[in-house]
Amino acid sequence: MSVSVGDLVKYVRPYPPEAHLVYEVAAVKDVGGGSWVLLVEEVEEDVEVAPGVMGGFGCWEEAKEFAKV
């Protein structure tokens, strides 16, 4: 999947109670044939960073773990 900065995404295989959560892509990098994304980081635990958008945890994750909303 190709994602860009600013795209809204969801996890492909989320923990069931979190299946509805939406995140925003803050950065994208290609490494070793794979794409990685960094989500906009949460400011306060379990508080939206924008209306309808949850914050990530500040780590790079494989882009294939996400689907665009």
Distance of alpha carbon 8 from alpha carbon 23, whole angstroms: 6
| 37 Cβ neighbours under 8 A, 6+ residues apart | 3, 9, 25, 26, 27, 28, 60, 61, 62, 63, 66
Whole-model pTM: value is 0.90
Tokens 């665009």 appear where? 68
pLDDT in tens, 27-66: 999 998 899 999 999 999 889 999 999 999 999 999 999 9
Three-state DSSP at 26 gives strand
Q: Is the pLDDT of residue 15 over 90?
A: no
| Residue 1, pLDDT score | 64
